[in-house]
Amino acid sequence: MGVTAEKDELIENGLSSQEAARLAAEGKINGDTDTPTKSVSEIIRSNVFTFFNFVNVVLGVLVLLTGSFKNCLFLGVIICNTVIGIVQEIRAKKTIDKLSLISAPKVTVLRDGRSVQITMEEIVLGDVVLLSSGRQICADCVLLQGECEVNESLITGESDPVLKQEGDELLSGSFVVSGHVKAQVVRVGQDNFASKITSGAKYIKKKNSVMLKSLDRIIKVIAVCIVPMAVGLFINSILLSGQSLDRAVVSTVAALIGMIPEGLYLLASVVMAVSVLRLASHKTLAQDMYCSETLARVDTLCLDKTGTITEGIMQVEDTRLLKDDFPLDRAMEAFASCMSDDNPTMNAVKDRWSGGNASALFTCPFSSARKWSGAGFEKGCVILGAPEFVLKENYPLVKEQCEAAQSEGVRVLLAAYSENRLAGHELPEGIVPAALIFIGDIIRKEAPQTLEFFEKQGVDIKIISGDNPVTVSRIAGRAGVKNAEMAVDASLLSVDEIDEAVKKYSVFGRVTPDKKLAIVKALKKQGHTVGMTGDGVNDVLALKEADCSIAMQSGSDAARSVSNLVLLDSNFASMPKIVAEGRRSVNNIQRSGTLFLTKTIYSFLLALIFVFLPLPYPFQPIQLTLISVTTIGIPGFFLALEPNTDIIKGSFIRNIFKLAFPRGAAVAFCAIASVLVSEYTDLPMDGMSTLTFYTVAAVGFFALFRIMKPMKAWKAGLLAALIAVFAGASLAAPSVFGLKPIGLYSVIAAVIIFVGGAVVMLLLEKAAEPIINFLAKAADVIRKIFHKFLGFIKKGQQDA
């Protein structure tokens, strides 16, 4: 008796202001559920204080100490790289900080017996919340009074409203579809269902860029080599070559900065930034600069049914009269005009039979428990609902027709009438089945063509939905999904069984948020690059885990916030354009990257040789800057913006190394040959540097010509302009670049060396594949020996 009175008191008056204040002081308040991300200062520090920047700054300081300011131009690229990195990460932070699954700005609660509007952050544990149709549930509650229907599609993925009665739980993030109830808050803050999903998605995902990872691997190799090479070159310059201290520092720095492909980092950043702008023209928002690259590499694409292959709304597909003289259209127009239900099924009915203006004596709204709705008129009533619930024991009369339609993924409604009046929530006597109405999801008109595109590209499609697996399977089949009949109810799968299920099935139904996450993780564990589309809260965790996530603009704020790409027109047909953009970026950066890696290779080879060769290093940093700008930097950026939709094949680093190695080796050959010729003809150091400068530039332009193939008019014009810029700069300001006039014999020698370098390049291009295969096998053997050696040492330590 006391418990009942206490409950009635709570329902009537809610919490008192004093009690609410006490609970808030105890921390039992909804509060700010945001998970902290990196601060702006932390982002700046992490981008500024990197090994890459440290090496370049040290080299720049050493050059500045010699007073050779012109040789510090390479630091400009470093500054640009750092600024772009900071801007991108701050942008990601702002996106994450906005993440919220609850969008209701105000909540109505009972305090001191009065209805009070508060913000969702002010809700305390035990508050009585007033909920009505259209309201979002802002904290997990238990229903105290009344009954309502709740749309949990954003939570579970199931589109049908769920009936909630006294004692049932209402989850935060869902919406009240119909009814007016009072519910008590049982969880607040981070304990809420929605907050748990939010916190699970609130982390800044590492950039999943193969290009960046490849560049990082190159930097790591250089990092291992750069210090001993610097020491060796400096000692060589002072002790063996007899150079001055200033010249030794400048030449050593020239050798080292050539090894670092800083321009390739900037190229990748700029090209991907341009890609973001191109995607915007296709009504696609890229929230991660490298996401189009990742999507272009995706081999498994997980699609949510609703909003992706369907439009998220339903339509009446067909009707079948069970009573020939029943005026279906007139009856349904009258029925639809009277009903206030707002759910996908009723909206489909209203859309098909609009224009009626009848008035009903009594209406009974749809209920998940009853599975029917009705409207009573002066001459009887019209009933619309699930056939088995409306006909009950007479259901076998239409069972065969209903099950045949349901097996095709179509929802079946029965339109019936009775000459008796409808009063209350009970079916009248004398119900006559009049017609079957078949309602189905509307397949996006562009979905079949888009799915066919991915199938031709070798991308495996997985449909993941919270709806019935049979329904999802049939809809997927209608949309053109390959192996759509291979469907499974994910609610029956354990976490351990999911690993095998993702290999076997193409369609997953009844999938909870945790199961969606498990499916994506299982696919990634099997070595797949996974793309994921979604629009609801139930998709958030899986979207965050996927290598590339795509959300629809029409979906939830949470889905958009965690996704790499947002389709602003919610049009699945944009996907092939995004893939094409990613391919253009990757293929062109791969080609332009060949130019940048060429410099790294020949700088590495020259540094390695001149550590042991008792001769001065032939370059100054300013000379390498001009060669790099005209043969690598400017053409690299132009080539990286050319249209290119070829399928991405092979390893990024292997592909560019295969093209860069012959060119780098040819340049190194020309540089060494120039130094040896200069030494033999007793050319002074400046003359040697000038001869080497021109031969290396010449073979660099020849390499550029080879990479530009197939040659087009604009490419020929660009090549001619670059040669003109190089010639003009070197002839107009020879003192700036440390150049001296050379004699006729040196010019002849330069031509012969250039021809020799071109021949070396052509020969190595043919031999590049077997050489790289040999080097890869050798590296693998060395790695295995090294790991065995480490194991041997560890075993010895354990035995000791």
Catalytic residue set: 304
Lookup: tokens for 529: 């690059």
Select from 153, 179, 181, 178 the least CA-distant residue to 167: 181
220 neighbors 568 (Cβ within 8 angstroms)? no
Q: Rounded distance, CA 198 to CA 194, Å?
A: 6
Q: Which residues contact 156 (CB under 8 A, 6 or more apart)?
A: 466, 512, 513, 538
Q: Residue 433: which H helix or E strand, with range?
A: strand 432-443
- The CA–CA distances, whole Å, from 143 to 131, 132, 138, 177, 273 equal 10, 12, 14, 15, 50
- The CA–CA distances, whole Å, from 127 to 27, 49, 425, 787 equal 14, 49, 32, 61
Q: Residue 736, Cβ neighbours under 10 Å: how many? A: 13
Lookup: tokens for 676: 């040896």
In three-state secondary structure terms, 501 is helix
Pairing of strands 148-151, 175-178: antiparallel
Q: How many CA atoms lie within 13 A of 790 on its CB side?
A: 5
Q: Residue 434: which H helix or E strand, with range?
A: strand 432-443
Q: Where does residue 669 fall: left (phi above 0), alpha (psi -120 to 50 degrees), or beta otherwise?
A: alpha
Q: What angle do CA 473, 475, 480 make, to 5 degrees?
A: 95
Lookup: tokens for 548: 């590339």
- The CA–CA distances, whole Å, from 325 to 330, 331, 639 equal 12, 12, 72
| DSSP state letter for 742 | -
- The CA–CA distances, whole Å, from 15 to 9, 12, 250, 274, 307 equal 9, 10, 77, 56, 41
Q: Residue 620, Cβ neighbours under 10 Å: how many? A: 23
- The CA–CA distances, whole Å, from 9 to 4, 15, 28, 132 equal 9, 9, 21, 21
Residue showing tokens 């090294």: 786
Select from 352, 284, 365 the least CA-distant residue to 581: 284
Compute φ and ψ for 649, nearest 5 degrees.
Answer: -125, 145
SS (HEC) of 61-126: HHHHHCCCHHHHCCHHHHHHHHHHHHHHHHHHHHHHHCCCCCCCCCEEEEECCEEEEECHHHCECC
Q: Which amino acid is at 490?
A: A
Residue showing tokens 């190595």: 764
Lookup: tokens for 316: 């009446």
Select from 623, 626, 746 the least CA-distant residue to 684: 746
Tell me the torsion sign for CA atoms 281, 287, 293, 299.
Answer: negative
Q: Rounded distance, CA 445 to CA 466, Å?
A: 22
Pairing of strands 565-567, 548-552: parallel
In three-state secondary structure terms, 140 is coil
Residue showing tokens 């400009």: 76
Compute φ and ψ for 177, nearest 5 degrees.
Answer: -90, -40
